[in-house]
């Protein structure tokens, strides 16, 4: 029995025995040596506050691009190739080069502070996928409604949805290259967005712009539901 215990100890402390890789000892956990780890990841006495934000809007408005631009992990995407079967329902006039569409959700994560981690969920835009919204929104602190000024009416369903369920939201105008740039107040008036709801102009391709939009959403959610 003593020899078995001593052999096991030898395996765990030696570099390698009979092809068995060395095992980390209690004094040197692997996590402590990981490069680029956040402070909260190395501090096992506390955990960050995890929050959830939903990004919604019409078809092809930039939700997948939004999540991809900001996620610090490889984003989960459920993109499917578009086929001729959707020609009558998916309007590609404004986005003729679009070849894929989200059929379930996009998911990403971003650490805004040592104690704040945001999970970002992008909803599918087409009406045939709206039945999934209730599940995606559950537990979210707020939502971002992406708008394209070339087809503002496409974001009305999302605005109506969040107004009806009482979830705090902001409107983010995704400015596409080569299109006319409108002021936030002009978009607010066109969409009849209430004065207390922030409206921002941003670029879903640029990380800093997306981060600023997320921060605006968090600030609005804290103001709307401070508890």
Taking only the tens place, the pLDDT of each residue in 24-44 is: 444 444 444 556 666 655 665
This prediction has a pTM of 0.66
Residue 56 tokens read as 């919604």
From the first residue on, what is the mean pLDDT of each consecutive set of 10 residues in the chain (227 residues)?
44 44 45 56 66 88 89 67 50 51 68 82 69 79 93 90 93 88 93 95 94 93 82
Angle at 77 between CA 177 and CA 89, to 5 degrees: 65
Cα first-last separation, the chain: 59
Residue 21 tokens read as 């890789």
Q: Which of the 8 DSSP states describes residue 194? A: -
């Amino acid at each position: 029995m003593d020899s078995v215990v001593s052999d096991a100890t030898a395996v765990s402390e030696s570099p390698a025995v009979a092809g068995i890789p060395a095992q980390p000892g209690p004094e040197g956990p692997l996590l402590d040596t990981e490069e680029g780890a956040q402070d909260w990841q190395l501090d096992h006495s506390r955990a960050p506050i995890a929050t959830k934000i939903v990004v919604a809007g019409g078809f092809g408005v930039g939700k997948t691009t939004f999540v991809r631009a900001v996620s610090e992990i490889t984003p989960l995407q459920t993109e499917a190739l578009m086929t001729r079967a959707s020609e009558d329902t998916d309007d590609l006039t404004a986005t003729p080069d679009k070849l894929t569409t989200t059929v379930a959700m996009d998911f990403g994560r971003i650490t805004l502070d040592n104690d704040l981690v945001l999970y970002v969920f992008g909803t599918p835009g087409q009406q045939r996928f709206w039945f999934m919204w209730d599940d995606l929104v559950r537990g979210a602190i707020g939502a971002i409604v992406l708008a394209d000024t070339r087809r503002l009416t496409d974001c009305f369903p999302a605005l109506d949805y969040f107004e009806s369920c009482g979830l705090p939201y902001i409107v983010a105008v995704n400015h596409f290259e080569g299109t006319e740039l409108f002021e936030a107040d002009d978009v607010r008036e066109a969409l009849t967005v209430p004065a207390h709801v922030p409206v921002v102009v941003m670029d879903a391709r640029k990380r800093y712009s997306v981060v600023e939009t997320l921060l605006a959403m968090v600030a609005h959610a804290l103001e709307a539901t401070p508890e």
